């Protein structure tokens, strides 16, 4: 029997639930060289923690995350806390000899991300792995798009359009950590543009080399402090839009907003190339649209591919028969299967971003903020 990967989780709210679900499900659906074992969950709210651990199957719980770092039994730690604590926790865990899977964005600031990348480099010398939960890479439709691009089905990439539109950040939403720069780093930008920058880099396999211009707006500057009637300052962007170009010459536009009223989780990306185009929209996450330019003008158009066919679409064989569709939570389980494979020195189904990779996404985030602030173009070579 393979030795389980003794695992711990820090954070027990939204991502705490999504990740706990993945830890509980992954070995039921995937044949893994080493399955994870749910050793310990750590979070701040002691009153809720025991019930959380019981419900999701964690053997132990603690309000002191450093207990997890100090426990020699634990091999893998999942960091699902707000952005400003990613660096402190991930660096301490790597220094304690753990593999670390951290939530996105890698950090709230480029300085934190840089320190995390350096810690990951040091830890890699001792065989420790890092991972970042850019979960949308794990939708089978994105996996198919990745493979079609590698098979040169769209040829040279000319144009990327990526938008991530949400609606939950209107004036009625209280001042949770996501609206405070000291906790989040930025607003819709780090929260949502991080995902679509990652997707654009992952799918094209190319790096962004220049931001040509950007605009950032904070529409709602004052919000109710949770649990009170008082107001506090919301000091992050509500929307950031920017234009960029890739090393191979392709141009790109990115838009992130949390005040786009009719859109709930509209994460979409379209890639237009010399031989074809691809389009993904998370609100229809099982579908990939593919246009093959060789179909010609008479019959050409978007093909609608249902990405649930075992043997044809990444991760599909682990789940249900054709078109018995997958949802948000499957992305996390698919990713955890790959994390377990990598820790067991096996190949993941699709490449997983590590801290170095996520640092490159963080540089793009930073360059776009500089571009918006200074109203200039910014070359990525200037952002280190
Ligand atoms: P949340 O506010 O729902 O939960 C945060 C958790 O962290 C809580 O359990 C809280 O007690 C704990 N926590 C906060 N500070 C802590 C500290 N110093 N030590 C230990 N525990 C601490 O936040 P949510 O939505 O779960 O976000 C967490 C992270 O996940 C963020 O980085 C966010 O950007 C990312 N995220 C990623 C998503 C994705 O689709 N990949 C979706 C939602 C969030
Ligand atoms: C909120 O905007 C949020 O939960 C983000 O934090 C996630 O990263 C995104 O996937 C869904 O929306």
* pLDDT value at residue 316: 98
**pLDDT score of 1:** 72
CA distances from 220 to 91, 164, 169, 174, 175 (A): 34, 19, 9, 11, 11
- Are 61 and 42 in contact by the 8 Å Cβ rule? The answer is yes
Nearest residue (CA) to ligand 1, atom 21? 43
CB contact at 8 A, 36 and 11:
no
The helix or strand, by DSSP H or E, that contains position 296, with its residue range, turns out to be helix 296-299
Spatial distance between the Cα atoms of 155 and 59, rounded to a whole number of angstroms: 50
80 Cα–ligand 1 center, Å = 5
* Residue 68 contacts residue 76 (beta carbons within 8 Å): no
**Candidates 9, 12, 13: which one to mutate for ligand 1, based on the most atoms within 8 Å of Cβ?**
13
- Note whether 365 and 186 are within 8 A (CB): yes
Q: Which of 12, 14, 181, 198 to mutate to test the pocket of ligand 1 (most atoms within 8 A of CB)?
A: 14
Nearest to 60, CA basis, from 50, 69, 70: 50
Identify the residue whose C-alpha is closest to ligand 1 atom 42.
15
Per-residue b or e along 32-45, where b marks 16 or more CB atoms closer than 10 Å to that residue's CB = bebbbbbbbbbbee
| CATH H-level superfamily of 5-135 | NAD(P)-binding Rossmann-like Domain (3.40.50.720)
| Token pair recorded at residue 104 | 């996105």
Cα of 191 from ligand 2 centre, angstroms = 6
Q: What is the pLDDT of residue 337?
A: 98
What are the pLDDT tens digits along the chain (384 aa)? 799 999 999 999 999 999 999 999 999 999 999 999 999 999 999 999 999 999 999 999 999 999 999 999 999 999 999 999 999 999 999 999 999 999 999 999 999 999 999 999 999 999 999 999 999 999 999 999 999 999 999 999 999 999 999 999 999 999 999 999 999 999 999 999 999 999 999 999 999 999 999 999 999 999 999 999 999 999 999 999 999 999 999 999 999 999 999 999 999 999 999 999 999 999 999 999 999 999 999 999 999 999 999 999 999 999 999 999 999 999 999 999 999 999 999 999 999 999 999 999 999 999 999 999 999 999 999 999
Contact 179, 211 (CB under 8 A): no
According to the model, what pLDDT value does residue 186 have? Answer: 98
Do 43 and 111 contact (CB within 8 A), yes or no? no
Q: Which two tokens stand for residue 129?
A: 């792995």
Backbone angles phi, psi at 371, to 5 degrees: -65, -40
Q: Residue 17: enclosing H or E segment and its boundaries? A: helix 14-29
- Say how many Å lie between the CA of residue 13 and the centre of ligand 1: 6
Supply the mean pLDDT for the chain: 98
d(CA 193, CA 208): 13
Ligand 2 neighbours by CB, cut-off 6 Å = 166, 191-192, 195, 265
| Among the bound ligands, the one closest to the CA of 107 | 1
Please report, for the chain, the start and end positions of each structural domain, with discontinuous segments joined by +. 5-135, 137-324+354-374
Q: Ligand 2 centroid vs 134 CA: distance in angstroms? A: 11
Fold of 137-324+354-374: Dihydrodipicolinate Reductase; domain 2 (3.30.360)
Cα distances from 323 to residues 136, 158, 268, 333, in angstroms, run 19, 32, 21, 18
The C-alpha atoms of residue 339 and residue 254 are separated, in whole angstroms, by 28
Ligand nearest to the CA of 46: 1
Domains 5-135 and 137-324+354-374 share a fold: no
Distance separating the N- and C-terminal Cα atoms of the chain: 45
* Residue 121 to residue 128: CA distance in whole angstroms: 9
Using a 6 Å cutoff on CB, does residue 83 contact ligand 1?
yes
Quote the DSSP letter at residue 156: S
- CA-proximal residue: ligand 1, atom 39 (nearest): 135
**By the 8 A CB rule, do 35 and 5 touch?**
yes
| Dist CA 142 CA 109 (whole Å) | 28
């Amino acid at each position: 029997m393979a030795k389980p990967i003794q695992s711990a989780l820090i954070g027990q709210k939204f991502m705490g639930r999504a990740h706990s679900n993945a830890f509980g499900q992954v070995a039921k659906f995937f044949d893994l060289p080493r399955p994870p074992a749910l050793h310990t969950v750590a979070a701040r709210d002691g009153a809720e923690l025991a019930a959380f651990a019981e419900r999701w199957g964690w053997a132990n719980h603690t309000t002191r995350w450093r207990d997890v770092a100090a426990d020699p039994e634990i091999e893998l730690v999942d960091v699902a806390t707000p952005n400003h604590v990613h660096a402190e926790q991930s660096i301490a865990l790597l220094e304690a000899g753990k593999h670390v899977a951290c939530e996105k964005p890698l950090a709230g600031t480029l300085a934190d991300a840089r320190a995390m990348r350096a810690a990951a480099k040091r830890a890699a010398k001792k065989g420790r792995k890092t991972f970042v939960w850019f979960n949308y890479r794990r939708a089978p439709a994105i996996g198919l798009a990745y493979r079609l691009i590698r098979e040169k089905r769209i040829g040279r990439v000319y144009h990327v359009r990526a938008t991530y539109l949400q609606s939950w950040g209107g004036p009625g939403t209280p001042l949770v950590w996501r609206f405070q720069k000291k906790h989040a780093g930025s607003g819709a930008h780090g929260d949502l543009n991080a995902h679509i920058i990652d997707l654009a880099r992952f799918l094209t396999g190319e790096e962004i080399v220049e931001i040509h211009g950007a605009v950032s707006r904070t529409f709602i500057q004052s919000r109710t402090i949770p649990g009170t009637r008082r107001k506090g300052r919301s000091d992050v962007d509500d929307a950031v839009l920017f234009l960029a170009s890739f090393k191979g010459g392709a141009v790109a536009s990115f838009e992130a907003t949390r005040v786009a009223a009719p859109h709930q989780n509209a994460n979409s990306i379209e890639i237009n190339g010399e031989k074809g185009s691809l389009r993904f929209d998370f609100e229809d996450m099982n579908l990939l649209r593919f246009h093959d330019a060789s179909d010609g003008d008479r019959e050409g158009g978007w093909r609608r591919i249902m990405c649930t066919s075992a043997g044809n679409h990444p991760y599909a064989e682990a789940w249900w028969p054709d078109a018995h569709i997958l949802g948000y939570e499957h992305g996390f389980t698919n990713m955890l299967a790959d994390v377990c494979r990598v820790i067991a020195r096996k190949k993941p189904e699709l490449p997983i971003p590590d801290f170095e990779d996520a640092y490159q996404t963080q540089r793009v985030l930073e360059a776009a903020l500089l571009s918006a602030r200074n109203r200039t173009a910014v070359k990525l070579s200037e952002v280190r």
